Structure 1
Amino acid sequence: MAASDFFLQRQLDALMAKAVNQDDQLWVKTDQHPVKRLEQLARHYNGHIRQRAVLRLGYMHQSSSLPALIERANDWAAPVRTAARQSIRRYITLQDAVVLVNCLPDFYRLLNGERDDHQRLVDEVIQFLSLPQNRPRLLDGVCIADKNIARIATQVLIEQQLFPPEIIFQQVSQQQDCMVRLMAAKAVLSHCAAVTTGRMQELLRDSYPPIKQLALHYVINQKAEVSLPLLHLLLLDRNELVRKRAARLLDAGGLSPTEYYLSVFNDSSRRVAERSLALLGLDEQKYPPVEELALKSLDSQQPGMYRAALRVIVWHQQQEAREILLEAISCPSPVIGRMACRQFIKLKLFLLPGELQPVLDTHPSADRQRLCLALASSLNLWDSLIFLLNNAAIFEKSLTQQAISGWKVRANRSGNQPDARQKRELLVLLDHCSDDLFRGKDYLQKLLSS
């Protein structure tokens, strides 16, 4: 132990011996783990203790302590911040390059701190990692499973131009994080010399839509060639913008996207997902009979095709699609029911009192109950309360209470008065309603009785 380290330890022991500094919540004495003890003391409320703990951590030079030191670099006490920076600089060594790479997110979070200007410290770390002997460690960082480390490592490699874009692209090709792949794709596409046929195919086959969009944008601007099978694959992509750009390329080559979409849609041997995407593609290409095709597809027993057809019909008919949406809400598939419910609310369509109850009676599942509660706001103000109270025994109590709270907010903003039928039904329902379900029901009963 160095003399200065021993002196710091003596000071810490003297400070912690005082009763005023003994905080059982923050300091747990662990003689077997002195590093952990110092990390705890680095968060002590006494700044003198924090300062000495930070300095001692720097002398002990344990890689696991670096995040704690970076945290103290933004301490509210200036002497502690200075001590933390001093200890952090002890880690700027060749042996600790991997540790610095793993702590890059912590360093970048410092830049958001307002207690001091941390740019100089962060720049020192980046410049050190940018040295030729440390660049391989930074390149390895883009493959780390932690997406925050991988993203910042990729950002540093690209901004500092430490490796050619094609090397970075090759390194991140197996990275699971889509944002890392997107950064590498932008770097490659910004250097035309790095764009090869193989790399372009890899970009166009990526699972992340923005990467495919970016690659197609490059192909359109540079008038590059894409193989016909790959274009056909992109025409059936799940992303609308990818489909449109692929159709634009196919059309520029003298081929009709509409004909390809029709061939896929009419081919019963193709997968349902492909045929449903072909229907959406026909709509995007403004194929005149597409609405008729969509109406016929509503008879399909496949949820994917039904959803695509419903999307096309709603886009063309808007509020006239009310009856179709109401039927779709009653569909056994919960996915279609949720989609129809969202569209119903989005279009601000109205509901009649007798139209919502059959939906709940037909499918009284928990998922359908939530849909009916969401649709209750489309009913008349007082009919929606009748619906909620009438089905209070079916719905979960917490969901009913939440819906009634929303109804009260709606009622306070409305001047709509109940008619005689609504008054009669509400008075009967409120008599059987518990106070914890509808707080303030007595006031409403008096109002309805007057």
Structure 2
Amino acid sequence: MHILTKLFGTRTTPEATSYPIYLYPGHAIPLRVALDTVAASQDHVQLLEWTKHYSGYIREAAIARCVELGKAECLPPLVGRLNDWVPEVRRAAAHGLLTLLATVPAEHFIPLLPQLRALTEAKRTDHAAWLSHFEQQLVHAGGRDGVLNALSSPDFRLRRAAYFVSHAQRLLEPSALSELGLRSGDIALARHAVTLIDTLPTADQPALLQLALSSSFGPVRLAALHLAVRHPDAPEIDSFLRRALFDAQGTLRHAAARALTTKGIDITPLCLEALASERLDSRRVRTALSLMVEIGAPYVEDVLSRYANDPRVDVRVRAMTLQARQNPAVRDELSQRALRDASPKVRVLGALLCTRFGAYVSLDQVRDLLTNHGDYRAALRICGREKWDHLVCLGWTTEFCSLDNKLLTELRQMLGVWLAREGASWTRPSAQHVDLLLRQQTAAALLELAADKRSVLADCLQRGGVWECSQS
């Protein structure tokens, strides 16, 4: 059958096939000539380019010629056209791949499984029925071993595709497939594998459930917990629930707490017992403290106060954060205490309590922060809330901290922003601000920082009533 009849049917007319097509760049030829050229081509590299041609007729003709040649090199472009925007091209590619299964060895199709499996998410049409039929034919054509070998491929996309083909075509027993997914280290496979457990015979479930409960993926552990609580008499379920109380994932902690409460077990003693044992690492200590706050455990304030003095920095930060959440009235005290801490991480928390939660820190305490720790970032963050505090802090940072070129440039940029915005606010400096800005060392530091903008700074301070004309 002539290629024109294939594409246009019996209603082919000269007009329908005479409009120009650019088969090669810069050279237009009639469509009928272009189609004949494609149909006679032996150059598979050129055919692969034509499968991406702007004309659907050329793409369809190139696919038909690829199928006729029957070369393995033609498989990838055919897969690429399975979701083409032209229905006829899609059908040609789908039919062509099924046809090539009879002549091209099945192993050449295995690397294409990720692209084929991506059709499950395609939106132009529903490929599910065709994909299932193709995978079935691939297995029958000798592709079973190739799919199973791909389960251990270094390419995670190929491993995933092979796994889902194995599941869809039942190449492995569900229990073996579930274990494979749970041990894969791939969250996509592990999440699917845990859903298989509930479909297995009761005798096969405990071992796989235990494997899922010890997964490194929080969503997998959570799904396994939901399965486990359906069988409250299952062995080791209570042991897992107690461990899950201190899990890093909050959703899992809540689920474990609800399950234990349903079983009539009081959670607070479990937390206190675990903390008292001193066998918990810092992450689990933080988790236990969070859980006690979440469930509203009694004595939690005393426990938090004790751990706010813990030698581990991350534990101190968590304990003080939870204290601030529990009792907003102590945020001022907590912020002041955090800013005296030797750890920069704890001081960051102190600044955060000021900037985000409105805790109060005096300027004297900011100066202590600079003189004792040189922590100008925390100091500037705190003082950034009020413009005159900010100016004083810029002067102190210049005065008390060691300045390299980078920090000096950064401070000058901040002062430039302050000067540019000064007229946008009518806030007057307080008596304390005036006294601090009149200190000879602070004034000299600000003038040094201002550099070529000294006159602008002096003018701003004169208008604010801080400096007299003689000082500029």
In the superposition, the TM-score normalised over structure 1's length comes to: 0.67
User: What is the CA–CA distance in structure 2 between the aligned matches of 1:259 and 1:167, rounded to whole Å?
Assistant: 40
Q: Which moved more, 1:78-87 or 1:93-102?
A: 78-87
Alignment partner, residue 176 of structure 1: 185
Match of 1:207 among 216, 239, 242: 216
Query: What residue in structure 2 maps to residue 261 of structure 1?
Result: 271
Deviation for aligned residue 1:70: 4.5
Deviations 1:265-294 (A, max 9, x none): 122455444444433343344332121121
Within a 5 Å distance, the mapping from 1:317-396 to structure 2 comes to 317-318=327-328, 320-328=330-338, 331-338=341-348, 345-349=355-359, 352-356=362-366, 358-359=368-369, 362-363=372-373, 375=382, 377=384, 379-384=385-390, 387=393, 391=397
- 1:244 & 1:192 partners in 2: Cα distance? 29
Deviation at 1:181, TM superposition (A): 0.7
Q: 2: CA distance between counterparts of 1:429 and 1:76? A: 67
Map Cα deviations across residues 144-167 of structure 1 (whole Å, 9 max, x no partner): 554555555556666787766433
Q: Measure how far apart 1:316 and its partner are.
A: 0.9
Structure 2 equivalent of residue 197 of structure 1: 206
Contact 1:73 1:84 in 2 (8 A): yes
Tell me the equivalent position of 1:98.
Answer: 110
Q: Where does 1:406-421 land on structure 2 (aligned, <5 Å)?
A: 415=425, 417-419=427-429, 421=433
Q: How does 1:76-95 map to 2 (within 5 A)?
A: 92=101, 94-95=106-107
> 1:401-440: CA deviations, max 9, x gaps?
997899899x6997553437589889984884478xx9xx
* Residue 387 (structure 1) shift: 4.1
**Count of matched residue pairs:** 412
User: Residue 79 and residue 202 in structure 1: after superposition, are their counterparts in 2 closer, same or farther (change >3 A)?
Assistant: closer
> 1:385 deviation in Å?
5.8
Residue 183 (structure 1) shift: 2.0
Asked if residue 246 in structure 1 is aligned to residue 246 in structure 2, the reply is no
| Aligned partners of 1:319 and 1:349 also within 8 Å | no
1:34-79 Cα offsets, whole Å, 9 max, x none, are 8778767766889998788777766776767755554556667889
Confirm or deny: 8 A CA contact 1:235 1:247 kept in the other structure. yes
Give me the CA root mean square deviation.
5.2
1:210 CA displacement: 2.0
Match 1:188 to one of 187, 190, 197: 197
Amino acid at match of 1:262: L
Secondary structure at the residue paired with 2:244?
Answer: helix
What is the percentage of aligned positions where both structures have the same residue?
Answer: 19
- What is the CA–CA distance in structure 2 between the aligned matches of 1:405 and 1:155, rounded to whole Å? 60
**Structure-1 residue corresponding to 2:133:** 127
Q: Which segments of 5 or more consecutive residues in structure 2 lack a partner in the other structure?
A: 4-21, 30-42, 464-472
Whose Rg is larger?
A: 2
1:237 Cα deviation from its structure 2 partner = 2.0
Letter in 2 for 1:119: D
Distance 1:428 1:299, change over 3 A: closer
* SS state at 1:180 partner: helix
Deviations 1:79-131 (A, max 9, x none): 9777766765566563444123232465456x25xxxx3434x6423431145
Stretches of structure 1 lacking an aligned partner (at least 5 in a row) = 5-13, 22-33
The alignment's TM-score, normalised by the length of structure 2, stands at: 0.64
Secondary structure class of the residue paired with 2:327: helix
